[in-house]
Chains A and B, each alone.
Chain A
């Protein structure tokens, strides 16, 4: 039998002192209040994570896939030997520890991984950045009305994707190492006060069940796999789904599982860099051919692509569930209230007219 993972007790009164200690060897990242929102940022000297939030406006995907990132450098100076030759930029991402990531956002990295870490090619930027983070997740007892994680493959106490699960209690936290990385972290801060066997497990289990019950909105996915791609693609409902969309792209930028990017060169004087930037399937330029032909030139084609990718193509390609963790950001932030739960319902229940 696998050894039972023990819960470690961390007293809140020592919390700041302990984090201070960690700061010597890691970059600490955590949620902080900004305007009415909460954002993840690097915690400076004297700053500590603020756990009093529902969910952050943006996910943590930019930690691993920055909105803009240098890939190569080059010189256009003809007098130089290496003129026109791309050079790798130095990369040694600092080891960092994220405090307070929600389990859904951590699980999102696992859904994105098969895109960047494949048997044929590895994306070195994504892989190194992902390898350099330790994720200390905050169990979620206060979901938003738009959260539907429990039907999207994860949940408020979901462990997969986290290195440590942190559960807040009155005057302490309970921490559970999920991975070797997590164990290593607990050791590094001397967090080793084991709780009495069985007690914390029972309490957490009860809290997990209660938290899951608080999630009252769902996405239906059970029939997606058996649907025929072309049937869904040709379904009549896309016209209606896409009607109000203004192609702003917000849904894709805020989504922790959207990974599309563009590659661009930027030259200043005689030197420059090749970089990659977030891109979005919501924009016509994404697929425009030099000839002027565009396979997804119309809005309806782009809106359909977004949902088909998340709820059908991904499902079929990776056998790994849907490409969505149910964080609800796209629903909360869409200016015209397009709702992936409703589209999922349409797709999941669709029967082509024979």
Chain B
């Protein structure tokens, strides 16, 4: 078995500044050894450790979709030591990627269902991966209705703005973009917090409808009762957690909630699973 701590060497192929505050950047990586790409088989919802020699490693959700070949992309918020260093790196710099890690959204269960994606802030990364995956011509017919409720503080804080605008125009996906506030008179979409828009726009819950919810704790806290009211069962609400991580493979011991390791048994859990576990996230 191979050393699970050894990152694949990658080259930064492109860096895109996503938000007006410049704190969020999307990094596109290409594998240095072409064989490594074949080994890196992932599904939407998984994450990887981005590894910078001398600085350390950070767990980041994979923002590219498995249907996009030839590269991996990650959107990184600048907060601490490793993320700040990453933001100072340039195209063509060499670093490492270790993964894929964790479980994905439960795609076998989601096939044939209505999917409601609810995202807030920069937790939209693996949701982007999921949307691109579902909209792929080979996959779209596997899903029924797709709704996306995506909110940011201001229009300038929305990630993937060009793509989101493209999705808005499509008939096979119902987009509900929202911002907390805006003074832009041309803003053509919703204004209001994600829970409010969810209440107004999300379809009612039933056996055939699953919600995937990712966002800051405050958004999750207020969205949950609304989904309850809309009739979503706890095992039809899917969430992705973040805890401090090091190993990413269930060995270093820090990311657990109860007996589950967020890195290995998660990061994707249903709300039903989480209600039986301590709220240590």
Contact = CB atoms under 8 A, between A and B. Distances in A.
Contacts of A279: 252-254
Given A76-B53, A88-B3, A313-B258, A289 B243 contact: yes
Contacts of B1: 121-122, 124
Contacts of B17: none
B259 A313 contact: yes
Nearest to B252: A261
B137 interface: no
Contact of B258 (A122, A229, A272, A290): A229
Size class of B's contact patch?
35 or more
A30 B252 CA distance: 28
Given A260-B253, A287-B254, A289-B242, A122 B4 contact: yes
A159 B258 CA distance: 31
A291 B249 contact: no
A294 to B, nearest CB: 8
Interface string A293-309: 10110000100010011
A116 B249 CA distance: 10
Contacts of A274: 5, 53
B94 A229 contact: no
A348 to B, nearest CB: 17
Interface of B: 1, 3-7, 9, 32, 51-57, 79-80, 83, 93-96, 217, 242-244, 246-247, 249-259, 264, 276-281
Interface residues of A, number: 51
Contacts of B250: 115, 118, 120-121
Nearest to B216: A291
A202 interface: no
A287 B53 contact: no
B246 A272 contact: no
B contact patch SS: loop
Contacts of B255: 287
Given A229-B277, A290-B80, A290-B83, 20 more contacts: A71-B5, A74-B54, A83-B94, A84-B52, A84-B95, A85-B96, A116-B251, A121-B1, A121-B249, A121-B251, A122-B4, A123-B251, A233-B258, A261-B246, A265-B55, A267-B54, A279-B253, A287-B255, A289-B242, A305-B256
A317 interface: yes
Nearest to B79: A290
Contacts of B53: 74, 76, 84-86, 265, 272, 274
A309 B251 contact: no
B253 A259 contact: yes
Nearest to A263: B246
B96 A313 contact: no
B256 A309 contact: yes
A94 interface: no
Contact of A233 (B79, B242, B244, B278): B278
Contact of B5 (A72, A115, A229, A296): A72
Nearest to B93: A84
Interface of A is mostly: mixed
A262 interface: yes
A67 to B, nearest CB: 15
Interface string A109-140: 00000011010111110000000000000000
A286 interface: yes
12 contacts: A71-B5, A84-B96, A85-B53, A86-B53, A115-B250, A120-B249, A267-B54, A279-B252, A289-B244, A308-B258, A312-B259, A314-B259
A264 interface: yes
Contacts of B264: 120
B54 A72 contact: no
Contacts of A76: 53-54
B254 A317 contact: no
A17 B56 CA distance: 49
Contacts of A305: 256, 280
A264 B54 CA distance: 8
A287 B244 CA distance: 5
Contacts of A83: 94
B258 to A, nearest CB: 5
A259 B94 CA distance: 32
Nearest to A229: B258
B6 A86 contact: yes
B243 A295 contact: yes
Contacts of A308: 258
A230 interface: yes
A316 interface: yes
Closest 9 pairs between A and B when the two form their complex, measured CB to CB: A260-B253, A313-B259, A74-B53, A295-B280, A290-B80, A290-B79, A121-B4, A317-B259, A84-B94
Nearest to A74: B53
